[in-house]
Structure 1
Amino acid sequence: MSGRVLVLGAAGRLGRAAAEMFRDAGWQVASLVRGRAASRAAPGTEVITLDARDTESVAEAAAGADVVLHALNVPYTQWQTEAFRLAETAVAAARAAGATLMMPGNVYGYGAGMPAVLDEDTPMRPTSRKGALRVAIEERLRAESEDGLRVVILRAGDFYGGDAGGWLDRVVLNHISHGRLAYPGPLDVVHPWAYLPDLAATFPKLAAVRDTLPPFASFGFAGHAVTGRELIDAIVHALGRAFKIDRMQWWMLRLAAPVVPVFRELVDIDYLWTVPHRIDERRLAATIDAIPHTPFEAALAAALYELGATRRA
């Protein structure tokens, strides 16, 4: 099954990747981007240039869509003021079109007391501002589903692969040209990573079976759950040289947090690097024919190449 999909935030990391995957799966894809980001939209898709905060215009642009993918994102420092508003735009667009609303989920809502394995029945007990906000957004979507809107959430760990803009390039590889790698937590703690091409390819698979799903459907995407040591060793193997390993100095971020907004937002979720956790994907495996999965070493090698880490190292 295919149809027409409107991708909100189609110039972003997930939005562009998902637009490409929907296109390649035979969907008609409309990529909604801000005007100055039109050149970043996926080739072979209809480009719609709008400010996503213009809810009425976005709802009009959704006409004829079978699926609306909410891939809008803002910097951490703007979450409290913008995230809920953008979710409302996505709801309005899906309702206007009578479409299924799809959205990526994260693990922030489980909080610092989360168990080692997270599935769709794990209770949400947020301990951070961003976690509480994500739970509020999902509760809003659940309420909408009880009033006729179909919602699909695909929950994953930290993105890597494709464009820069994540923990891998901004922290782990930040000083690779100086022969150094950094890790945000203890090297023996398991942390989930989502290889972006695999995650993006899962959305059209779920969209194809959307009519068989409950009104509010949530799925976990396991990706690659690895320890810091496994990540570092894989980088060393892929690049063929040794590095000095640094630990991220969280105490410095906490000290500066009152005056540096992005540090304040990062320390809000620092527990994600000290509490071991991974995502269970058995429900997803039972729902689609095959979960896209690139072996970890191959995915990491591709990500390193795309980020220019091979040359910089």
Structure 2
Amino acid sequence: MTRLKTFRIMFVVLMQALCLLTPGGVRAEGPLVSTGVGFEFASGSYGLGTKTDSIYVPFTLAVYPSERLGFLLEIPYVYQSSSAVNTGILLGPGGGQMTGMRKEAAAMPGAGGTMSGTGSGSGGGTSSGSTVSKKSRQGVGDLTLKGGYVLVPEGEFVPRVRPYLFVKFPTADREQMLGTGEFDEGFAVEFSKQYGNWYSFAEGGYTFQGTSAVLPLKDYFSFNAGTGYQLGERFLPMMLIKAAGAPIEGASDLLELRLKLKMLVGAKSGIDGYIAKGITRSSPDYGVGLAIYHDF
């Protein structure tokens, strides 16, 4: 049995078991469903000597069967100005940039819900090692499905602990270099805690990439962390660090710093915005992003 089939079986069995073990009708004050749409722009040469601009527009749908169990589906639309960067290889577990923008939404009750911490972290692409073409390309990106469960609720001195599994489906056009054309699977564990007006989180994960005849893909670790101070009831400025091992042979490790602002708009809607600066060769030189989400 291949690694992918084994992981898929583990994913389905675990999620079904969690659904059965979760008491029916038990809900927190959080939403049953949350939706969001984002826009992210990144630009850099990625060590290839050719500037590449990329745009990532993800739609997310999160569903919470219980106060602890949650699932998130991300469907992105991607654009890149050349083939110098493969947009399907992203910083953080599971790929996807929108989820990284919403990773800390649990810091503000009433927006984002418990699943907002599911993201896989994200941010920019990495060098593909392939021949650079000036031709721009765009289309639907890789679909990502995540499922997580809060093992330890947040307490007075104990952080919330939530592991999750994810599968990335190769729905992007590999011929257009919008994705790797391979399944990715992996896992991560999130820790988050609010101390008064201070909110902090950390997440570590591991991604198993598929085997590609075109790209020398590698499995890699990732780590994301941040802290912020809530101003009033609506604003949460944060500083974040996002890092990952090289996802392709010959690429550098990824490291990016972000300054982020979360703002509540009403009781069930929110806006996230950030500016980013890449530190390593395979990270984008800079990036900006904006996301809007609503709970139902």
Give the TM-score normalised by the residue count of structure 1. Answer: 0.26
More strand by share: 2
More helix by share: 1
Q: Which has the larger radius of gyration?
A: 1
Give the TM-score normalised by the residue count of structure 2. Answer: 0.27
